[in-house]
Amino acid sequence: MCFFCGILWADETAYPSTGTMKEQIAVIILAAGLGKRMRSPKAKVLHEILGRPMLSYVIDVAREIAGPSVIVVVGNQAEAVRRAVSGAAAVRYAYQDRQLGTGHAVLCALPQLPDDCEQVVVLCGDTPLLTAPTLKTLVQDHLAAGRDATLLAVELDAPKGYGRVLLNDRHQVCGIVEEADASTGQRAIRLINTGIYCVTRRFLSEALPKVTPENAQGELYFTDIIRIGYESGRNIGVSYGAAPREILGVNTPEDLARVEALMTGRSAIIS
């Protein structure tokens, strides 16, 4: 068990063990933050879009590629988050008792991974427009290339607020720099990190303990595993192809209204 965190609870539904590819993939969803920019006492992932908590949409997509092997990392208002989504889907929960960064959140979830899990997909709980085909493409790309870690990246005309993907002279990914830590030149990079990854369980377990809080926020950044993998000669790559709107994160009431408008339009097309 992680020194800083423990397991709060686990649904009693057992993971199946038939060995299919879906059951060898687990998804970790980061949903422990408060979301101060929402200007609301409600946990960010509980804000509703078309009558459902935004986290519910992310769980739906996660289950498309991992079945019941979905772990939601909770912290702030943990019980409320669990109550809001448990009735709709059988998932497991890990508890992050202190907000020490995304790397720490994933570390808290590791003990909840099923025994037969070989690949781990990491998602954020505030990206409700993400679709299953995009995640499936990420996993297929990752597996076909035999990578240790693959991050989903997109190019944005206005990348402000996102971490930038760093490429070396051979156009290989060598790291991710958060905007708060980026130089002026790095902030001009348009290729951004979506916060969505597919990582082998073995590499994840090896890399996370090497992450340190040496950054402007003093946090354990999950993004540092990309640099760690590159520097140690691991097979690290980027998957492209997601529509920019799919990776829109909800951080403010304005973001929430924009995503709800897009979701409404998507629903109208489907119906």
pTM of the prediction?
A: 0.89
Q: Can you tell me the mean pLDDT for 205-218?
A: 93
pLDDT at 10 over 70: no
- The pLDDT of residue 112 is 95
| Range with the largest mean pLDDT of 7-16, 68-77, 168-177 | 68-77
pLDDT at 106 over 90: yes
Half-sphere exposure (CA, 13 Å, Cβ side) for 96? 27
| Count of beta carbons in the 10 Å neighbourhood of residue 250 | 26
Kindly report the length of the chain: 271
Give long-range contacts, CB 8 A cutoff, 24+ apart: 11-15: 11/86, 11/90, 11/91, 11/92, 11/93, 13/68, 13/90, 15/68, 15/69, 15/114, 15/115, 15/116
CATH for 131-194+202-247? Answer: 3.90.550.10
How would residue 50 be classed by pLDDT, with cut points 50, 70 and 90? very high
Domain boundaries, the chain: 1-129, 131-194+202-247
Q: Can you tell me the mean pLDDT for 183-194?
A: 95
CA dihedral 128, 133, 139, 143 (to 10 degrees): -170
Give me the CATH topology for the region 1-129: Spore Coat Polysaccharide Biosynthesis Protein SpsA; Chain A (3.90.550)
Q: What percent of the chain has pLDDT over 90?
A: 77
Higher pLDDT, 96 or 171: 96
Gap between the Cα atoms of 142 and 149, Å rounded: 7
pLDDT at 219 over 80: yes
Q: Do the domains spanning 1-129 and 131-194+202-247 agree at the CATH topology level?
A: yes
Q: How far apart are the first and last CA of the chain?
A: 46
How would residue 3 be classed by pLDDT, with cut points 50, 70 and 90? very low
- The pLDDT of residue 117 is 95
How would residue 23 be classed by pLDDT, with cut points 50, 70 and 90? low
- The pLDDT of residue 22 is 67
CA distances from 202 to 20, 101, 107, 119, 208 (A): 19, 21, 13, 9, 10
Q: Can you tell me the mean pLDDT for 161-176?
A: 91
Residue type present at position 6? G
- The pLDDT of residue 19 is 43
- The pLDDT of residue 14 is 34
Q: State pLDDT tens for residues 251-271.
A: 999 999 999 999 998 765 554
Active site residue 37: yes
CA distances from 161 to 34, 181, 192, 248 (A): 18, 11, 9, 11
| Count of beta carbons in the 10 Å neighbourhood of residue 179 | 15
pLDDT at 15 over 90: no
